[in-house]
Copies of this chain bind each other. A is one copy, B any other.
Amino acid sequence: MPTSAALLDTIRSEVDRSLRGFLDRQRPLVSAPEIAPLVAAAEDFLSGGKRLRPAFCYWGWRGAGGGDDPALFTAAASLELLQASALAHDDVMDASDLRRGMPSAHRRFQAMHEKEGWSGSAEQFGENAAILLGNLLLVWSGEMWRTSGLPPAALAAAQPVYDHMRTELMCGQYLDLLEQVRGASTFDSALRVALFKSGKYSVEQPLRLGLVLAARGREPWIDRLCEEYGRNVGIAFQLRDDILGVFGDPAETGKPAGDDLREGKRTMLIARALAAASPTQAEEVRLTLGDPELERGGVDRLRRVIEETGALAACEKLIDDYLGQALRSLDDAPITPEARTALADLAVAATARRT
């Protein structure tokens, strides 16, 4: 996919530049030298990533007639701060050790505590510092969005979308917690959680933000495109994420193999496997899913169940279906031809197999 790869590269470098600029402006505001590790953690935590959310926002903006504007890149880049905040908190909540192949934020601060030989629990210090890092990234995301330099009328039009997205994200994460502890998840309930927690704020809402910013308001065709393209790409994206969480290469995911299985994530993939499992297979899942000590052998057995129940193939098929629907919805959308091509490429890039 050279086209979308090149497009993403351009957007990525603009987004990176905006994020560096924002952090550089924050640094002098925080005068105490002890704060430096917090800002350094924010910086490292923001590096890397495919910048998909800013890309959807950017192509929404261009699709509705927006021109190339550094302010738009800044507003779009703020979505990465929001995402980084969610990841820092997620890793505390899931007790994850790794993020993008590096120590997660709480492990990083824990290691700092151990190295300095400070008193008290290093683990607790790490978690607390990561909660605060997540909070800082969260308030900075709103600030970067608002101070992007976009015209006030554009920002005012998009602000309700932005606010709704953030409320939805927090509530979706809470639904996800509930889903884990209530145990009995169906495909539909897993889908709902995936949509609220990730799908919407990964694709549909970033796209809507870009469209509404450029159009200076919400119009029926915008909501239609966001629902038909954005939601379907969001679901396919989440299904791909489910598959990567179980079968993904650690070099690609930055997480240990089968990490989602150890965390007991109730994904659409797992729901589909459980729905088709024999009693023996269901028992295998019950005994191993969510076991934090799960070894390679257990991961392999669970993977086999997911393949043998046909859940893996079914989810791959669903990804194709959702992607197909999304691509078809682009045909009639009154967006620029350039954006139509780019959004098609982006949808494929966001949901493609990584092998």
Binding site for B on A (CB under 8 A): 26, 29-30, 32, 34-35, 38, 89, 92-93, 113, 116, 118-120, 125, 127-129, 131-132, 134-136, 138-140, 142-143, 146-147, 152, 159, 163-164, 166-168, 170-171, 173-175, 177-178, 180-183, 192, 196, 264, 290
Contact = CB atoms under 8 A, between A and B. Distances in A.
A120 B292 CA distance: 12
Contact of A138 (B30, B139, B143): B139
A174 B38 contact: yes
Given A92-B131, A135-B135, 13 more contacts: A32-B196, A34-B175, A35-B174, A89-B132, A89-B135, A119-B182, A120-B180, A120-B290, A125-B177, A132-B177, A136-B170, A139-B163, A140-B167
A264 B171 CA distance: 34
B135 A181 contact: no
B173 A120 contact: no
A136 to B, nearest CB: 4
Contacts of A138: 135, 138-139
Contact of A139 (B89, B152, B170): B170
Nearest to A120: B181
A237 B116 CA distance: 33
